[in-house]
Amino acid sequence: QESTALSEESDYGKVKSDLILRPLNYQLIRDELEDVPHILAGDVALVLYAVMAHEGNDYFTAKMHRAQIENWQRPEREVLEEALVNTSFLYPPRLYCVEEILSWEKKKHGDGRFMAEGEASPFRKGARGYLLTNTLEINGAIALFYPGVLKKLAEGLEGDFYIAFTSIHEAQIHAAGMVTPEAVETSLRDTNRHCNRREEILTDRVYCYRRETQSLGIIDNGEFLEVKRDE
């Protein structure tokens, strides 16, 4: 079924609405991505997949290869960017305050919407952290790379923030003034070492977004190294 649906003769117009990007650890699978379209952002590879079917709150996907998209006669970068936008529509981002998730007062736990104007804001003054994912809570770390998400997070947090990809399914967000990057990194490494399966680990490195320059980077020995998205 997969071979038939994603044959080299597939029409882009028919496949386009099923294309998504999934976040994977580039260092772990770099050899597998030689013939696979992807966007590289530091250690994180945003890899092109097609959704074959949905089953409840899960889905079945197939990794795409360059041989399959050559006949579409579209630039690879354009296909990847359109797939990213499509992913954001299929599985919108959600943001939850960590304290509210852990609280027994479940009524405080909102629905996580935060991108549209007029929606109830999940941002809380003095909150130590937030959990960013998507509506499926599967491969939700991709939500950080959705169009407009970084800028919206910086507006809600009123400044720079750190990102810890605690698995491929989510990212923890911390306002820069609330915690040190060293503490975030220590917690992240412990999580990856003791809580995640190997295939769920995205990276051990802490990312940072600077509001003033609108730049995403990695904190390396206290230095900010800007991340450029490359194919």
103 falls in which pLDDT band (50, 70, 90)?
low
Listed range (91-105, 127-141, 191-205) with the worst mean pLDDT:
91-105
Question: Residue-wise over 166-180: b if at least 16 C-beta within 10 A, else e?
Answer: bbbbbbbbbbbeebe
Give the pLDDT band of residue 228 (cuts 50, 70, 90). Answer: confident
Phi, psi angle pair for 86, to nearest 5°: -65, -40
Q: pLDDT, tens digit, for every residue of 114-171? A: 998 877 788 988 888 999 999 999 999 999 999 999 999 999 999 999 999 999 999 9
Please tell me the predicted confidence (pLDDT) of residue 1.
Answer: 47
Whole-angstrom distance, CA of residue 216 vs CA of residue 188: 18
Reduced to 3 states (helix: H, G, I; strand: E, B; else coil), residue 89 is: helix
Residue 113 has pLDDT above 80, yes or no: yes
Starting from the edge strand earliest in sequence, which strands make up the sheet with 215-220, in order? 93-97, 130-134, 170-175, 161-167, 207-210, 215-220, 223-226
Ordered DSSP codes for 12-65: HHHHGGGEEEEEEEHHHHGGGGTTS-EEEETTEEEEEEEEEEEETTEEEEEE--
3-state DSSP assignment of residue 83? helix
Q: Which region among 54-58, 104-108, 118-122 has the lowest average model confidence (pLDDT)?
A: 104-108
Encoded amino acid at 147, one letter: P
- Write down the pLDDT at residue 6: 58
Percent over 90 (pLDDT), the chain: 75
User: In DSSP terms, which residues pair with 207 in a beta bridge?
Assistant: 163, 218
Judge whether 195 and 172 are in contact, CB under 8 Å.
no
pTM of this prediction?
0.92
Output 221-227 pairs: Cβ under 8 A, ≥24 positions apart. 222/181, 227/41, 227/42
- DSSP, collapsed to helix, strand or coil, labels residue 175 as strand
